[in-house]
Structure 1
Amino acid sequence: MWLFQSSPLDLAKGYGLFSLLGILGAIFANSTGAGGGVIFVPFFNYLSFSPQAIVATSFAIQCCGMTAGAITWWHYYRSQHQFDGYWKALPSTLVLSIPASIIGILFSQFSTQGKAVLNNLLGGASNLHMLFGSFSVLLAVAIFASIPMMKRSHFKKDITRKDVLVLPAIAFIGGVITAWLSVGVGELVAVYLIIRGFNVTMSIAVAVILSAFTVWSALPYHALISDTVVWEVVLFAGIGAIVGGMLAKYLVLAFSVQRLKLFFGFWVLILGISSLPVF
């Protein structure tokens, strides 16, 4: 795609460094279960992108990175843990959460009620920095709260009736939030699974695969209707995100999950606080 552009060298000079952003965002996203928007949103806001372009471009990049990560994690599950009791809940969790998350995305993007909630209760898209900052601070707190639970040596194996009811509800709410901020559903589901006592690495894999389906369901609105995707950025950040999405699994397996979560929690907290209007 890059070579077919009219001035590929000039395009690379102007946007090539976004590949590094894509790698960084995808590594964080696919090694922790959080969406890459945690990295992309504040960076694009710093570059003075419009609120609509921030969310749309973040979704497009995540379609590259989260898909690469989802394929990598799914292959790891099939090759290493398909008959592992601690990973037995992965398919059921995805079946419960993916449809609900997509419904949440579509509800927020296309229904009058979803748009009314965003505009009337939360201040609309122009209030993106405030919404992102508040959500990031809450997410950081949830990450810190879940860290002590990662020291378990025994994990839950089966989905319960409670999970059958709660997981779709969390995924729907996460989908609605993701439609506004380009982050949300993977983080919420991962934290819920960890708190419930499921295997941490399995929870991250679920969050990544769920996020991949979610961002793909969100992109058509921005690509075809709002037309706010900055495709030049996606061209370079997207390939970086694919690389980062493939590398993230090895980062998780090589380092302590607790340390990764602790580092990521502090990073999200700093980004969230810096996005609040007091700063």
Structure 2
Amino acid sequence: MISLIKQNAGKTALIVLLFLWIGSLLAQPAPIELVKEFGLFSVLGVIGAIFANATGAGGGVVFVPFFNYLSFSAQSVVATSFAIQCCGMTAGALTWAAYYKHQHKYDQYWKALPSVLMLTVPSSICGIGFAQYSSQSTRLLEHLWGGANNLHIAFGSFSILLAIAIFASIPLMKRTHFKKDLHTKDLLLLPFIGFLGGIITAWLSVGVGELVAVYLIIRGFNVTLSIASAVILSAFTVWSALPYHAFISESVVWQVVLFAGAGAIVGGTIAKFVVLAFSVQRLKLFFGIWVLILGVTSLPIL
């Protein structure tokens, strides 16, 4: 019986999640009205999670501009995006981890994955903690962008820089030979990128996964490894960020999360197959154009 459960662990987890979701929905005061008002957010969750887990970029790249368009408060934009990503990035991380375990555990081009995570996950979580609980972080945010109310400017600026980095990394994806081991400078730079990315992620709900993925690609590591590392790192990061928004700022719009989170689980589960079925270069090109458009339209120049 136990062995049967282990063999079907993925299906069992999905069934349990489905029943939990149905129970959560039925526990609401007016579930039918809730479905009518927020049901379409599930589509947003699917799209955001596919982008996030197929490219290594956080789902906030999709969620943040959409919630800004709906006139969510600055805190609610970031908080709700984090909560949805906890669903989608976790599903994606588990999918990529299983893919690594079953397909690439003994692959020399993938052996850097555990080391990358050991160097970036703790530093990213530290960056999240600094940004959320340190008064110095608030002063830094106000100095750079004039405070949280200028979230759209910060998001737009970061998105444009991210798009440029994505475009610059596309030619590097044509490599057929990749680096296998981390060098001394990687041991120094990855924790720094993780910490800086954690701070940016705390402010914008995107950042650390994108920075690490682009860095690994530029350094010459396998592209799919880079994406998998970014997704797993992002999953740890968003979970470390959620308690602050759930219990201190209390800014999460849970009705949106109920539906968008369910869609994100679906998107996070199938994203790996998108990466493996299509050209990574085309995915990155399309995603880079999308991010650039979102970045430009987020700035007050239009």
TM-score by length of 2: 0.92
Residue of structure 1 equivalent to 2:108: 85
Secondary structure of residue in 2 paired with 1:2: helix
Q: Does 1:233 align with 2:256?
A: yes
Is 1:108 matched up with 2:94?
Answer: no
Hey, what's the Cα distance between the residues in 1 that align with 2:268 and 2:78? Answer: 19
Mapped to 2, the partners of 1:213 and 1:183 lie a distance apart of 13
The one-letter code matched in structure 2 to 1:179 is: A
Equivalent pair of 2:86/2:235 in contact (CA under 8 Å) = yes
Map of 1:68 onto structure 2:
91
Distance, in Å, in 2 between the alignment partners of 1:91 and 1:111 is: 30
Q: Does 1:161 align with 2:184?
A: yes
Mapped to 1, the partners of 2:170 and 2:75 lie a distance apart of 34
- Structure 2: runs of 5 or more not aligned: 1-23
**Alpha-carbon distance, 1:122 to partner:** 2.0
Picking from 37, 44, 56, the partner of 1:33 is 56
Q: Which residue of 2 aligns with 1:245?
A: 268
CA displacement 1:118-160 (0-9 Å, x = unmatched) = 1233211000000000000000000000000000000000011
> Which residue number corresponds to residue 247 of structure 2?
224
Give the share of equivalent positions with the same residue, in percent. Answer: 73
Displacement after TM superposition at 1:113 (Å) = 1.0
SS at 1:48's partner residue?
Answer: coil
Alignment partner, residue 3 of structure 1: 26
Amino acid at match of 1:137: I
Greater shift, 266-275 or 120-129, is seen at 120-129
Q: Which has the larger radius of gyration?
A: 2
Match of 2:210 among 178, 187, 211: 187
Q: Distance in 2 between matches of 1:120 and 1:274?
A: 23
In structure 1, the partner of 2:12 is none
2:5 is aligned to none
* Normalised TM-score (structure 1): 0.99
2:25 counterpart SS class: coil
Please give the alpha-carbon distance, in whole angstroms, between the structure 2 residues aligned to 1:43 and 1:278.
18
Q: Distance in 1 between matches of 2:232 and 2:138?
A: 27
Partner of 1:48: 71
Cα contact 2:201–2:207 (8 A) shared by 1 = yes
Q: Distance in 2 between matches of 1:94 and 1:252?
A: 21
2:295 maps to amino acid: G
SS of aligned partner of 1:186: helix
Q: Report the alpha carbon displacement of residue 112 of structure 1 after superposing the two structures with TM.
A: 1.3
- From 193, 205, 211, give the equivalent of 2:234: 211
Aligned length: 279
CA offsets, 1:51-88, max 9 Å, x none? 11000000000000000000000000000000000000
